[in-house]
């Protein structure tokens, strides 16, 4: 076992940090004040003293009614924002009735096939009083439109709808795989979403540019930030190329990062990301609005670091990861449940995960001051080192011509796979200790906790709902609305306007996605053969 201590990104920790590590460090230029450019110390002057992070627990399973019950439970327990997990067929733009959906309906999230499902999902939850995040990508615009339709049915002014759609398809090509269309039309749909929301849903965050999934796939903190910011650059450039003014859409961009157990490097990572994005927006894109320069981000604790062995130990891991996120200045946080390496969370485990945030918020002094670790020789040195290495990666991606050409060449995916392999080798050798896995094991595990189970029969119920919707709708008006979607897809018209009309007339998710599949084709990665 090596005596050398390395960060997850691979550079060594020094035994002691001193002023010498900050030679050339300019606190006025690189730190500033909280709430001021370059936002290293946070995007708000008083941070959590003035505005506590949103406690947004990710949930969704089975049917819309079952997920609705979980949301109401979490709200009753003190959650301050909702976060929707969708099942794989929904994420891939398929109805529950599709042959490809068999065995997957409601398994890793809630099944949403029509506006009727979305209405049931938020039944009894006033959408003008909650902020809702939706983890959906390729069909994100459709789920957002369903949400808007349900809000309007409740009598809510669309301008009062608040939340975030993930809507980040580039990371799907890199690390996750729930893409539908090729990159060019995918970016067109995203740009259309930016423009539509600027007019129709001005309080909704139009994208959450995600490094989380790359971190879960094995990316180092440096790679996570670099590839995420490079994707952000691609989205901003695509919107500008589509004729949008940067300050018209950039204030609604947001980000999503992972928080690992390596607390010090994670804090520095968040600070470096804020500083770099501020400079990118100001200097590369000429953004004038300070809100366009602010990197606002959601954090989720590291699911990949949770273990099936001794699952209660995950409570400790999650608490440390949540500290990293809050010390690093996150705007919202999801804390994973201790049983997630085994199954979807139960009510008990979800409650304990929420209580972890509440203890940090109300029983510790973390929220008492902005950027509490600022000025630490180690933190400032790590922040600078991460920034330099991230910039080198962004320069490499620019050398390909940007994030999309680099994705098409497989650059990011290959680099993440290499990092994941090195991490796995370190765990196998014992250089990287994982408590309960390669050290401090138990010969016999304690009794496993009660686990959440999903009934396979829910697919039949979803198919019945789809059939009922199709029987009750005006098929001629649906066909006309889908024809308008096809016409828009072949032109420069904003796609979301005819898509909203098709959904209002009760077209299903897959029916709209199939029109776009016909027009754009499906994406096949270069290493698929």
Is the pLDDT at 427 greater than 60? The verdict is yes
3-state secondary structure of 54: strand
Average pLDDT over residues 223-237: 98
**Alpha-carbon dihedral of residues 250, 252, 258, 261, nearest 10 degrees?**
100
Q: What is the pLDDT of residues 182-207, one digit of tens each?
A: 999 999 999 999 999 999 999 999 99
CB 462 within 8 A of CB 105: yes
Q: Which two tokens stand for residue 228?
A: 């995420």
In the beta sheet, which residues pair with residue 84?
A: 59, 134
3-state secondary structure of 21: helix
Is the pLDDT at 1 greater than 50? The verdict is no
In the beta sheet, which residues pair with residue 435?
A: 439
Count Cβ atoms within 10 A of the Cβ of residue 529 and give its class: 0-12 exposed, 13-18 middle, 19 or more buried: exposed
Confidence of residue 3 (pLDDT cuts 50, 70, 90): low
Is the pLDDT at 209 greater than 90? The verdict is yes
Domains present along the chain, CATH in parentheses: 19-429 (3.20.20.240)
Is the pLDDT at 529 greater than 60? The verdict is no
Q: Is the peptide bond before 527 cis (omega within 30 degrees of 0)?
A: no
**Mean pLDDT in the chain?**
94
CB 113 within 8 A of CB 527: no
In the beta sheet, which residues pair with residue 253?
A: 207
Q: What is the pLDDT of residues 316-351, one digit of tens each?
A: 999 999 999 999 999 999 999 999 999 889 999 999
- In the sheet with 207-210, reading across from the earlier edge strand, the strands are 204-205, 162-165, 131-135, 81-85, 54-59, 332-334, 297-301, 253-259, 207-210
Q: What is the pLDDT of residues 434-468, one digit of tens each?
A: 999 999 998 776 666 676 666 678 899 999 999 99
**What pLDDT score does 60 carry?**
85
Average pLDDT over residues 396-417: 97
Type and span of the H or E element at 170: helix 170-171
User: Going by C-beta distance under 8 Å and a sequence separation of 6 or more, which residues neighbour residue 159?
Assistant: 201, 202, 203
Q: Which two tokens stand for residue 146?
A: 């369903």
- Residue among 129, 111, 131 at smallest CA distance from 121: 111
Task: Report phi then psi at 432, rounded to 5.
Answer: -105, 110
For the whole model, what pTM was predicted?
0.94
Radius of gyration of the chain (CA): 23
């Amino acid at each position: 076992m090596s005596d050398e201590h390395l960060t997850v990104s691979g550079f060594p920790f020094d035994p002691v940090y001193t002023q010498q590590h900050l030679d050339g460090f300019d606190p006025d230029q690189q730190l500033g004040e909280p709430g001021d450019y370059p936002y290293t110390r946070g995007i708000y002057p008083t941070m959590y003293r003035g505005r506590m992070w949103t406690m947004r627990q990710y949930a969704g399973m089975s049917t819309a009614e079952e997920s609705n019950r979980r949301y109401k439970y979490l709200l009753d327990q003190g959650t301050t924002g909702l976060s929707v997990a969708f099942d794989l067929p929904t994420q891939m733009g398929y109805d529950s009735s599709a042959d490809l959906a068999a065995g997957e309906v409601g398994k890793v999230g809630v099944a949403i096939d029509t506006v009727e499902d979305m209405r049931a999902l938020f039944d009894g939850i006033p959408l003008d009083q909650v902020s809702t995040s939706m983890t959906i990508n390729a069909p994100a615009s459709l789920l957002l439109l369903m949400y808007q339709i349900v809000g309007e049915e409740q009598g809510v002014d669309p301008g009062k709808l608040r939340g975030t759609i993930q809507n980040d398809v580039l990371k799907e090509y890199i690390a996750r795989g729930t893409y539908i269309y090729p990159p060019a039309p995918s970016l067109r749909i995203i740009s259309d979403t930016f423009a539509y929301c600027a007019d129709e849903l001005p309080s909704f965050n139009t994208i959450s540019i995600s490094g989380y999934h790359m971190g879960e796939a094995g990316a180092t903190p440096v790679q996570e930030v670099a590839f995420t910011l490079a994707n952000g650059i691609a989205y901003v450039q695509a919107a500008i190329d589509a004729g949008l003014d940067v300050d018209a859409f950039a204030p609604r961009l947001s980000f999503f990062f992972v928080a690992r157990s390596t607390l010090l490097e994670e804090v520095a990572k968040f600070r470096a990301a804020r500083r770099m994005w501020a400079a990118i927006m100001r200097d590369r894109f000429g953004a004038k609005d300070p809100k366009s320069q602010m990197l606002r981000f959601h954090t989720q604790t590291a699911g990949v670091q949770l273990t099936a062995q001794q699952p209660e130990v995950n409570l400790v891991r999650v608490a440390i990861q949540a500290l990293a996120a809050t010390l690093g200045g996150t705007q919202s946080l999801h804390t994973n449940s201790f049983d997630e390496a085994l199954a979807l969370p139960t009510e008990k485990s979800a409650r304990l995960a929420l209580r972890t945030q509440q203890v940090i918020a109300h029983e510790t002094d973390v929220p008492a001051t902005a950027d509490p670790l600022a000025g630490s020789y180690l933190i400032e040195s790590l922040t600078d080192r991460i920034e330099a290495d991230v910039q080198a990666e962004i320069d490499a991606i620019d050398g390909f011509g940007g994030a999309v050409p680099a994705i098409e060449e497989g650059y990011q995916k290959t680099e993440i796979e290499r990092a994941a392999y090195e991490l796995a080798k370190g765990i196998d050798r014992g250089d990287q200790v994982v408590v309960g896995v390669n050290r401090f094991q138990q010969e016999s595990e304690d009794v496993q906790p009660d686990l959440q189970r999903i009934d396979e029969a829910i697919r039949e119920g979803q198919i019945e709902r789809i059939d009922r919707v199709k029987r009750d709708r005006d098929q001629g008006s649906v066909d006309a609305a889908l024809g308008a979607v096809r016409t828009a897809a072949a032109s420069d018209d904003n796609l979301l306007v005819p898509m909203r009309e098709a959904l209002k007339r009760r077209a299903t998710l897959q029916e709209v996605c199939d029109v776009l599949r016909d027009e754009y084709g499906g994406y096949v990665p270069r290493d698929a053969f």
